Chain A
Amino acid sequence: MNKPFTQPQNQSKVGILVIFTSSFYKILRAVLISFAYFLFSSNSKAKLYILLGFGIVGLLSLIYSFFYYKKFKFHIDYKQKEFVLQKGVFSTEYINIPFDKIQQVYFKRSIIQRIINVYEVAIDTAGSSQKEVTIKALSKEKAEDLRSILMDLAAEENLEEVEYEVETVNDSAINPNFTKKQKVEWKHQLGILDLLKLGLTSNYLRGIWLIFIFFSTIMNELSQLKIENPYIDQGVEYLDKNYTSSSAIIFVLLMAVVLTFIAGIVISTIEIFIKYFNLTLTQTTSSLDLEMGLKTNTRTSLKPRRVQLLRLSTNPIQKRLNLYEAEVSLASSSDEIQGKKGKIRIPGLAKEKLQKIKEFLFNKADETSEAIKPHHFLIFRRVMLSLIPLAIAFIPVVIFSWYEWKIILPFIFIYIGLSFVLNKMYYQSISIEFTESFIIKKHGIWNQETEILELFKLQSVTVKQPLWFKKRKVYNLEFHTAGGDLSFPLVREEVLKNLNYSFYKIETSTKAWM
């Protein structure tokens, strides 16, 4: 039999370039400070040395890349039923992945990989603490061959579960060759206009936060270099001279706020363009295939079995534009549960598309039941918690008596009032539903989220009760899944009986939860 990939083989030759750029980039990032020094220093001799240093490092990493390429070999061992990879320049490392451990095989492409037209193949494994295995550069045909062969082998190994999947996905017509030929059921694509809409309506705070982080790191690096910054002093002087009246100061502050806000919008939009450029979601009979990204183009396929938690969100403006976001939490290897690795966001979905995704993932119609609210003590608790930063900010004020009480008090009252109103609104938005096969949590004032958890995918449940809630008989709930936790605060005692139903559902379920 002439099976493909039985002989250990290298990547595409151009792969050297990919390895080289990525390793050189890593080194560059590590020595960013000396690079900055290179730019700023006026000493030409130092400049020369640094340039020379960079040249040597570049040459060394080129040599390293060559050997890394030579030593990097992979093949499929059909007898042992595993995919084998060997790598390492100084010491050789063998990585064996049994077929049944293969969860997903997908492509990634950075800009360089796209320029030289190669595909990075990533193999995602289940349950092990090992990170995903990647082969940096393969030609298109080889990459697709490898992907389909590995996926088929993994599917054969997990035949039982795959059968189950086919059943759930397509009851009427079970197609035995479904892995080979998949009918496209529907497609979802984000155009430039959609991305723009998304960018303009997304969470600007994130953009503002990014600016803040960016500037603080720059300032940090600069201060480490101890370069004197005459501009700041000049700026301060200028301000002292020209802005003496309070109205001028307020004007400057207002302008600063507005500018930051605009910058936040721009940054968010750019981020969304980079992340979700050319997003394409295709549903075939057995999976949802997702492709997106400008800088790194990733392709993954979602299988209902792996999905542990579904989070749908929107905000009032996006709702009006019919834009919804779905975030899927996948079962991830043990310690990375809170990490971002197992989460996939699909923004810009119209409502009916969202419905289709839900139907596909759960294979069930929507269920609703009585929405259960937490104890209204939640408002009080949240207001109290919001006072902590105020109290912390207050300590220096009291100790050093910087300000007059008359000035501070109104601010405190505004803060408390605002906090109360917002938390009251939050309380109105939060609810949990225990339906026949789901737990559904809704919450959020501006960003309205709906989290849906299939009961049989639960791993365990924790009920928490702080001592001071004992008299009130309220409890905090925590539902653990393999894709993260879902928690709900302060439910009354009679709600706990719904948990008995959850346990009943888990314990009578024979479906594979992953």
Chain B
Amino acid sequence: MDSVESQFTNKQLEIDLLPDYQAVDFLSVSIKKRTKSFIQISIGFLLLLIGWGVLFYLLPTHWVLYLALTVLFIVFGFGYLNAFLLQKKYGYALREKDIIYSRGYLINKTTVIPFNRIQHVSISRGVFDKALGVSTLKIFTAGGQGSDVSIPGLLPDLALKLKEAVAKKLTVEEHE
């Protein structure tokens, strides 16, 4: 409290002159994120196709089966397209005092989390993450699910570095 008072200033604020969060350059995530999505979708697709094949073999031929197959292809087609389009939309940026994460094709969401509101940071690696050599960085706040963020498709070193950078900011904030 004291330190704040000793350096007390009271300049007029021009809202237009404040750093603009939209002006940052977003860094993109690794292309492996797309590969991961494709693999996940393909596995689901394959399982359902096998299921369909079994039904086709067991049941008498009926138009509903063909309809189901068409629906399957359309749904997964969209799945692939979505994964393809999403890739470009992942972006994150670190500023001095906050982290910005943007994602989503159909509904684009940009979340800004100030460092002094982060509760903790963690890195998670699933099976596919391990196989492809990527990590997911998770950032938690006290603001509930809508406020928490997980950045996928980061190279492990980078994720670690980011985590450390954020953690360092956190401890600095705490000492102030």
Q: Which residues on A are within 8 Å of B, measured CB to CB?
A: 127, 164, 331, 334, 337-338, 458-467, 478, 480-482, 484-485, 496-501, 503-504, 506-507, 509-510, 513-514
Contact of A467 among B105, B114, B143, B144 (CB under 8 A): B105
> Are A510 and B114 in contact, with the CB atoms below 8 A?
no
- Contact partners of B109 in chain A: CB under 8 A: 462-465
> Are B4 and A480 in contact, with the CB atoms below 8 A?
no
Kindly list 10 other residue pairs between chains A and B, CB separation below 8 angstroms, not including A460-B147, A466-B108.
A460-B114, A463-B111, A465-B107, A466-B106, A482-B142, A499-B21, A500-B15, A507-B98, A507-B114, A510-B176
Query: What 0/1 readout, one digit per residue, does chain B (73-113) give for beta carbons within 8 Å of chain A?
Result: 00000000000000000000000011000001111111111
Q: Does B130 contact A (CB under 8 A)?
A: no
CA gap between A485 and B21 in the complex, in Å: 21
CA gap between A94 and B130 in the complex, in Å: 39
- Contact partners of B176 in chain A: CB under 8 A: 510
Q: Which residues on B are within 8 Å of A, measured CB to CB?
A: 1, 4, 13, 15-16, 18-22, 97-98, 104-117, 141-147, 176
- Contact sample, A vs B, 18 pairs, CB 8 Å cutoff: A459-B147, A460-B117, A463-B110, A463-B111, A464-B108, A465-B107, A466-B106, A467-B108, A478-B146, A480-B141, A482-B143, A484-B144, A497-B18, A500-B19, A503-B98, A506-B117, A513-B117, A514-B142
CA gap between A513 and B116 in the complex, in Å: 10
CA gap between A338 and B145 in the complex, in Å: 10
Contact of A497 among B15, B105, B110, B146 (CB under 8 A): B15
CA gap between A466 and B108 in the complex, in Å: 6
Shortest 10 CB-CB distances between A and B: which pairs? A459-B143, A480-B143, A480-B147, A337-B144, A482-B142, A507-B97, A500-B18, A460-B113, A462-B111, A459-B141
Residue of A nearest to B104 (CB): A464
Q: Give B81 Cβ to nearest chain A Cβ, in Å.
A: 13
Residue of A nearest to B16 (CB): A497
- Contact partners of B98 in chain A: CB under 8 A: 503, 507
CA gap between A164 and B112 in the complex, in Å: 28
> Are B112 and A503 in contact, with the CB atoms below 8 A?
yes
Contact of A459 among B19, B104, B110, B142 (CB under 8 A): B142
| Given A458-B117, A506-B114, A496 and B22 contact (CB-CB distance below 8 Å) | yes
B22, B110, B144: most-surrounded residue (chain A CB, <10 A): B144
Q: Give B111 Cβ to nearest chain A Cβ, in Å.
A: 4
Residue of A nearest to B115 (CB): A507
SS class of chain A's interface: helix, strand, loop or mixed?
mixed
> Are A509 and B111 in contact, with the CB atoms below 8 A?
no
> Are B144 and A510 in contact, with the CB atoms below 8 A?
no
> Are A462 and B110 in contact, with the CB atoms below 8 A?
yes
Contact of B116 among A334, A499, A501, A506 (CB under 8 A): A506
- Contact partners of B4 in chain A: CB under 8 A: 510
- Contact partners of B111 in chain A: CB under 8 A: 460-463
CA gap between A504 and B146 in the complex, in Å: 21
Residue of A nearest to B3 (CB): A510
- Contact partners of B107 in chain A: CB under 8 A: 464-467
- Contact partners of A498 in chain B: CB under 8 A: 15
- Contact partners of B115 in chain A: CB under 8 A: 507
- Contact partners of A506 in chain B: CB under 8 A: 114, 116-117
CA gap between A376 and B144 in the complex, in Å: 30
Q: Give B174 Cβ to nearest chain A Cβ, in Å.
A: 11
Q: Give B76 Cβ to nearest chain A Cβ, in Å.
A: 21
CA gap between A500 and B21 in the complex, in Å: 7
CA gap between A506 and B98 in the complex, in Å: 10
CA gap between A500 and B22 in the complex, in Å: 9
- Contact partners of B20 in chain A: CB under 8 A: 497, 500
CA gap between A484 and B143 in the complex, in Å: 7
Q: Give A473 Cβ to nearest chain B Cβ, in Å.
A: 12
| Given A459-B141, A462-B111, A480 and B21 contact (CB-CB distance below 8 Å) | no
